Structure 1
Amino acid sequence: MERRIMKNTGKFKILALIFISVVINYMDRTNISVAASAMSQELELTSVEMGLIFSAFAWTYSIMQIPGGMVVDIIKIRFLYPFILIAWSVATLIQGLVSSLTALIGCRMAIGLFEAPSYPANNKIVTQWFAAQERAGAIAVYTSGQFIGLAFLMPVLALIQNAFGWRGLFIASGLIGIVWALVWYRFYREPESDHIDDVDQPLVIEPETKVNNAANWQKLKFAFSQKKLWGIYLGQFCLGGTMIFFLTWFPTYLAEYRGLGDLQTGFVASVPFLAAFCGVLLSGFVSDYLVKKGYSNEFARKMPIMLGLLLSSAIIGANYVQSTLWVTVFLSLSFFGNGLASINWVFVSLIAPKSMVGLVGGCFNFIGGLAAVIVPLTIGYLAQDGDFQSALVMIAALALVGLLSYVFLVGKVEPIDEPIFDVTANGVQG
């Protein structure tokens, strides 16, 4: 009994570390959206140029997902995570010291580069520390950090900017990340081999296997040849369409299209993030509960995601109302749906061959990251005249495409057989 209590305590400590890391991760992605209006006015940036700055993060973030997944399969998390935390935090801080469009784009690309391994690392930590029937709940908890953290941080970030300007906002954000990297290194430990009872034992890949997996490029070809995996890749891309709007253009939409002041924007912007937080926790824990009660993965895992993508399309309702209250209602309903669908990371561990969790996680986030490249730029062009209606239609359409990908591509939720690779023949057997 005492041994199990100690194990559970260790899991909760690890989950808390991931949760706070996700909060800081998304703070450094999103502070640019809070600073955007003031920054664009001071530096005289157009909406298209702001679209470039918003999307620059995703250029490197998406490209580095697959290499990042490979790195996660090779380097111990305790050393990898503090390194990338410090690196992206320094790049965040430098944003507050530069003034040119080129330098801002470079800083955003650096943040994307060093944040790239973070979510494959998060998924691997959960795979190592939590049994299969616990993972959706664990993923829901740390994923909620991107919502609950920003729900409370949006007003705080707005207040910091109001007091110290947009440059002070970036400098403060970067310093927080550097301090947290030291905390992570102090408290994180790799799981022991007997951490979880054998009946619940999740995957722990041996070091030699990890090196072989990362070096075998045939696995990359395999990861992009499976219909089931393309179903979750496409779903992640479409889910990202809604997410990236809220992480980039949303405060500008409220301030410039809906005419709200900076502080009012900060507080109104927090409401959809709270809704998304409720959605992701509800989805994760209900999904795990249904699995434990014997419901199939098709019902327990897929239904929350499909329902969430359907609700995400409700963002289009904001085009047909004028009051701030109803705009907030439709946006919150949409982001609640995005939260419901955000446990889709669980499909990486449920479907991917067990030796390829890191690599498939990288492919999954690579395709999802492309939404962060394409959507901000597209919105910048669609909203050049200050009208966001076409942009909201596009986001709603993407959510429905994601829903269809789970219906027609993912199919039955079951693991893909472990492939056997013949290096000399450059082929795949089995």
Structure 2
Amino acid sequence: MTAGRARVDGSTGAVGSAPDIAPPLRAGGNVRWVICALLFFATTINYIDRQVIGILKPTLQGELGWSEVDYGTIVFWFQAAYAIGLLLCGPVIDRIGSKLGYAAAITVWSLAALAHALVRSPGGFATMRFALGLGESANFPAAIKSVAEWFPKKERALAAGILNAGANVGAIATPIIVPIIALTYGWQAAFIGTGLLGFIWLAAWLAFYRAPEHHPRLSQQELAYITSDQDNDAGAAPIPWRDLFRRRATWSFVCAKFLTDPVWYLFLFWLPDFFAKRHGLDLKTFGPPLIAVYLLADVGSIGGGWLSSALIKRGFSVNAGRKLALLVCALGVLPIMFASTVSSLVAAVAIIGLAAAAHQGWSSNLYTMVSDTFPKSSVASVMGIGGAAGAVGGMIMARYVGHVLETVGSYAPVFVWAGTAYLLALAIVHVLVPRLDPKAV
């Protein structure tokens, strides 16, 4: 090998020449970002289908005579199914792969979304929400597994932030689309129109998605870039469940999801109602405030993922980069404790929007920590376990919020609880996992 060229064994070239330094790998293509775009749109559809009932809550309560407890029960059963589905879908997706797992999931949840138009009673809606929760539970385990397969570690948080931003885009699109459909054609049409979106995405997913090593459009250069800083675990068997529960990294993710996921569910299922009760908005007027909140959440989702990736590229360790980003996000949620006390709608939107942005930035980094500490063959399983814990937290939240609104009539206690959850979760994460190292957890 000539002087100045990198040697395979890492030694230098001829005597007196400059030390050989291997040039940084270039991506050599953008197929991975097309995959990321598909994950983004799936998450968008997931959240549109999930949030329709929150947008229609005042309408359905008035037309069908639901109480606050009835609505809390309907949300409870969605969360219960979501928890059950997450526990079941993770190992299944790890075994059958993201392509088939995602396809099955979006088929189930889209059919369930359509079926909402056929029911009227609280029991009927609870049944349909249960089916929706089972299908939707597979979204994030499949998506984060796909990110672990398709992105090097230094890009994973950004990719997770982009796909996670789909939740915010869905939350933005819903208050725009649903009121128009509902006011023009009735609330049943809103469930039918949004439920059909999943089948459009399904066709694109089946046509384009392949594992990286089998994708016909992926260049060898981009494949080398994708695997450049990944652990050599491509052929590793999934970690048995009993061993996953023996790992501190599993419990740190479980605790963090249990404490913080309910805050996001609070936004999805109760924010339109908060604006209606506290600021006198209705189906025709609460769209712009909701859009503003979720636009801010979009910025937080991508910004939070970018922040830790930028810190790591600037020399911070993965551990320091992820946890500093989590700390910034946890501090951003604190002001929500005052959201119910301000009289200005603009101030309330700003405070809640900041909290939503911080939550999404938090989630982008929390998801990425799973792929930092577990082999790709077990990512979906860990995501499922943690997601189930978050859904259980959401079940408790649904009962709690319904009870508080029936008895106290104010969101103030709920927002105080939400503001403190993230700092507590970060403290638990750091105590359980002082270093983000697969060998240390």
The structural deviation recorded for 1:203 is: 6.0
Contact 2:340 2:415 (C-alpha < 8 Å) held by counterparts: yes
Distance 1:161 1:304 in 2: 40
Question: What TM-score results when the alignment is normalised by the length of structure 1?
Answer: 0.89
Q: Assess, with a 3 A threshold, how the Cα gap between structure 1 residues 241 and 34 changes in structure 2: closer, same or farther.
A: same
**Are 1:132 and 2:153 counterparts?**
yes
What is the aligned counterpart of 1:358 among 369, 380, 386?
Answer: 380
1:199 alignment partner in structure 2 = 228
Distance 1:310 1:222 in 2: 34
**Are 1:302 and 2:329 counterparts?**
no
Distance 1:190 1:298 in 2: 28
Q: Secondary structure at the match of 1:260?
A: coil
Which one-letter code corresponds to 1:402 in the other structure?
Answer: A
**Are 1:399 and 2:428 counterparts?**
no
What is the aligned counterpart of 2:178 among 157, 168, 173?
Answer: 157
Cα deviation digits, residues 126-146 of structure 1 (max 9, x gap)? 111111111111111101111
The structural deviation recorded for 1:200 is: 3.7
- Aligned-pair identity in percent equals 28
What is the aligned counterpart of 1:103 among 102, 120, 124?
Answer: 124
The structural deviation recorded for 1:204 is: 6.3
Q: Assess, with a 3 A threshold, how the Cα gap between structure 1 residues 302 and 404 changes in structure 2: closer, same or farther.
A: same
Q: Assess, with a 3 A threshold, how the Cα gap between structure 1 residues 188 and 222 changes in structure 2: closer, same or farther.
A: same
Larger Cα-atom Rg: 2
Distance 1:409 1:311 in 2: 23
Distance 1:79 1:15 in 2: 17
Contact 1:131 1:202 (C-alpha < 8 Å) held by counterparts: no
Contact 1:130 1:202 (C-alpha < 8 Å) held by counterparts: no
Cα deviation digits, residues 2-37 of structure 1 (max 9, x gap)? x966x5321111011100000001111111100111
Cα deviation digits, residues 84-103 of structure 1 (max 9, x gap)? 21211010011011112111
2:3 alignment partner in structure 1 = none
Contact 2:231 2:375 (C-alpha < 8 Å) held by counterparts: no
The structural deviation recorded for 1:52 is: 1.0
2:434 alignment partner in structure 1 = 411
Q: Secondary structure at the match of 1:74?
A: helix
Which stretches of structure 1, 4 residues or more, deviate above 4 A after TM superposition?
201-204
Distance 2:327 2:378 in 1: 25
1:2-401 matches, cutoff 5 A: 8-192=29-213, 196-197=223-224, 199-201=228-230, 205-206=234-235, 210=237, 213=238, 219-343=240-364, 344-353=366-375, 355-385=377-407, 386-401=409-424
The structural deviation recorded for 1:154 is: 2.1
Cα deviation digits, residues 270-314 of structure 1 (max 9, x gap)? 111111111111111121121122112232111111221222132
Which one-letter code corresponds to 1:226 in the other structure?
Answer: R
Distance 1:396 1:296 in 2: 28
The structural deviation recorded for 1:201 is: 4.6
Q: Assess, with a 3 A threshold, how the Cα gap between structure 1 residues 351 and 286 changes in structure 2: closer, same or farther.
A: same
Cα deviation digits, residues 205-244 of structure 1 (max 9, x gap)? 44xx55xx3xx7xx22222233333222211222212201
Q: CA RMSD in A?
A: 2.2
The structural deviation recorded for 1:366 is: 1.5
Contact 1:228 1:411 (C-alpha < 8 Å) held by counterparts: no
Contact 2:48 2:173 (C-alpha < 8 Å) held by counterparts: no
Contact 1:127 1:349 (C-alpha < 8 Å) held by counterparts: yes
Unaligned runs of at least 5 residues, structure 2? 1-24, 215-219
Distance 1:8 1:286 in 2: 24
Contact 2:51 2:174 (C-alpha < 8 Å) held by counterparts: no
The structural deviation recorded for 1:355 is: 4.1
Cα deviation digits, residues 295-344 of structure 1 (max 9, x gap)? 12232111111221222132111132111111112111211211221211
The structural deviation recorded for 1:39 is: 0.9
Which one-letter code corresponds to 1:396 in the other structure?
Answer: G
Contact 1:28 1:174 (C-alpha < 8 Å) held by counterparts: yes
Distance 1:22 1:16 in 2: 10
Which stretch has the larger CA shift, 91-100 or 403-412? 403-412
Contact 1:37 1:252 (C-alpha < 8 Å) held by counterparts: yes
Contact 1:275 1:333 (C-alpha < 8 Å) held by counterparts: yes
In the alignment of these two chains, the number of paired residues is 408
Contact 2:262 2:391 (C-alpha < 8 Å) held by counterparts: no
Distance 2:102 2:46 in 1: 11
Q: Secondary structure at the match of 2:186?
A: helix
The structural deviation recorded for 1:77 is: 2.4
Distance 1:4 1:314 in 2: 42
Distance 2:188 2:439 in 1: 48
